[in-house]
Amino acid sequence: MRKLGVIGIGNVGVTVAYTLVSQGIVDELVMIDTNDKKVLAEKLDFEDAMPRLPYHTKIKIQDYAALSDADVVITAFGDIEASIKTGNRFAEFKINSKNAVEVGTKLKEVGFKGVLINISNPCDAITTILQRETGLPKERVFGTGTFLDTARMQHVVGDYLNQDSRNVDGFVLGEHGNSQFTAWSTVRVNNKPLAEVISLDEIASLDGKPSEGAWIVASGKGYTSYAIATCGVRLAQAVMSDAKLFAPASVYVEEFGTYLGYPAIIGANGAEKVVPLELTAEEVEKLNESVAYIKEHVEQLG
């Protein structure tokens, strides 16, 4: 039986839950939120939809004990308004670090031994806290990280070249936040290096557009939901099916001693293997700067 939990049933969490239910991805779903009325309402709404769906999902709410044998738990708690107002994902750090300690402690108490995928921001720092509090091996706790930012880059490059975004490969690395960067040396279109397809000036003109698009969505809607929820679900599917998916995520990289957006193999045991990249000197410098930024904030925890 495929069993998954979602903790935090806000705009992102409920989109994750809806995707799981409507696409028949899990047999049992456990939803947990601090708002009892909201999580009950979502449960009943899903169950009203069930007679018209080709799948059946058993839904439980507000029960951490039900997560003890879950394959995957996705954390999506947060205060998106803080990020929107400041333009900085670390604006959620104070509230979400507290949430992460509470959630991690409860998961440890019920004996959760599955894979934990974090969406909550600042993603790399909160993933660090969740790993510490659950005591799970580092590979079994990882975050969506730059999986989303990489998708945004693929979208931008694909649109510019009139290509399907899935024909674009490459990585956005580092913090899921202001210090992230596109490693343009890794970007390929239809298996051709991007630098062979367009000029360096054109590449430079594209550099900030993925982040610009993200803030257009966030300021226009008041939040982001579909893209990040899709990323979370895709990673959960990779774990549940042992897909050995090669993708960037917020994974623990021993070389840097922290979680950050970096490519890894995602399978049944989580982020099973970090895949080293050959970067330019400029990209290595940017990566080191991003690592330092993440560590600086994580060290606030003591």
Residue 297 a catalytic site member: no
Sheet with 3-7: strands ordered across: 58-61, 28-32, 3-7, 72-75, 115-118, 141-143, 245-253, 258-267, 270-274
The answer to whether 63 and 32 have CB atoms below 8 angstroms apart is yes
Tokens 């934990």 found at: 116
For residue 84, count other CB atoms closer than 10 A to its CB: 17
Residue spans of beta strands (DSSP E) within the chain? 3-7, 28-32, 58-61, 72-75, 115-118, 141-143, 168-173, 181-189, 192-193, 245-253, 258-267, 270-274
> Which residues are identified as catalytic?
176
